[in-house]
Copies of this chain bind each other. A is one copy, B any other.
Amino acid sequence: MSLTHALLGLLAVRPSSGYELTRSFEGDLGRYAWQAGHTSIYPELTKLAERGLVEVAHEGARGSRTYAITTEGRAELREWLMAPPRGGRVRNEQVLRMFLISALDPKDALVLLRGIAGHTGERAGELRAIRVETDDVPFTSPEGFGLLAAEYGIRQYDAVHSWALWAIERLEKELDRSRT
């Protein structure tokens, strides 16, 4: 289960409460990589604490517990990250949609592809605008996280954008050919 390692990763950057971790998953992390609600996070933190990978560093107001990663936790995270990625289960609805486009009739497919091309072009532009502002943030700081995410997102959107344009061109050519 990758939630384990997502939490270890977040706690490796800085100690956090379950509540703060929950909000982390609502940002770029959840947008591009992994989602989790508080109902999975709190029990998982308890399990991690039992395994000695994290510990309660501080108890604050309103019953909040700030967790910190332990040395063993860091070792576990490192091992997982450095190991060759085993066949992870991919489950991406967006990508599924793209694959299924060839099951549509060509006219519908064109409409859809044009929508995708427009949408991804816009998003890539938005991210590029953000990037300019955060140019000098060091990589290894807590903000380095968002930096990696933004760059990744830009390239991701660009990739889908160029793919959609390629598919549109190819489809239009085929429609032309079949019309004559």
Residues of A within 8 A of B (CB): 2, 5-6, 8-10, 12-13, 28-35, 77-78, 81-82, 85, 88-104, 106, 108, 111-112, 138-140, 144-145, 147-149, 151-152, 155-156, 158-160, 162-163, 166-167, 170-171, 174
Contact A13 B102 (CB under 8 A): yes
Oligomer: number of copies: 2
Contact A100 B78 (CB under 8 A): no
Secondary structure dominating the interface of A: helix
- Give A139 Cβ to nearest chain B Cβ, in Å: 5
Q: Which residue of B lies closest to A69 (CB)?
A: B103
Contact B77 A85 (CB under 8 A): no
| A12 contact from B28, B103, B145, B174, Cβ within 8 A | B103
Known contacts A31-B90, A90-B30, A95-B33; is-contact A103 B174 (Cβ 8 Å): no
Given A81-B100, A151-B166, 6 further pairs, Cβ under 8 A: A34-B91, A34-B93, A82-B111, A102-B140, A139-B174, A152-B163
Contact A32 B159 (CB under 8 A): no
Contact B93 A174 (CB under 8 A): no
Question: Which residues of the other chain, B, contact A145 by a CB distance below 8 angstroms?
Answer: 99, 102
- Give A75 Cβ to nearest chain B Cβ, in Å: 12
